[in-house]
Amino acid sequence: MKISLIAHDRKKNDLIQFVTAYKQIFAQHELYATGTTGLKIMEATGLNIHRFQSGPLGGDQEIGALIAKNEMDVIFFFRDPLTAQPHEPDVTALVRLCDVYAIPLATNMGTAEILVQGIRRGDMHWREIIHEQTKKDEENL
């Protein structure tokens, strides 16, 4: 499963603590992250993470492109709702793409806890079915 990890500046420590707590689960999947967030998580956990640009420099959009191509399965995006973000349109677009393509999105610790437990239990197998259907659709083009 492909999982993206994103956090606004004031939420980076929360995401680092979360990934550290569930390191064994995250280690079983392909991890992607925006630049600074990915670096900090890698330093704290030793996990292998593909890093994109930082969010304000286009990292959110790079992850959004993977969502639009059905190449991302889950997003953990710890947002800071109390601080204005200079790239807010990119954030809004990413959230919109998750809704359009039915990608599970956790924007806070409470939802993240539920989502990571679902991943642990194997509740995300429906994403594999979607991947298989996408491959069949591409072959028929």
Q: Residue 129: is it exposed, middle or buried by C-beta count within 10 angstroms (0-12/13-18/19+)?
A: exposed
Provide the 10 A C-beta neighbour count for residue 45. Answer: 17
73 as an active site residue: the answer is no
* Secondary element (H or E) of residue 104: none
Q: Which of 60, 73, 99, 123 is catalytic?
A: 60
Please identify every residue annotated as catalytic.
60
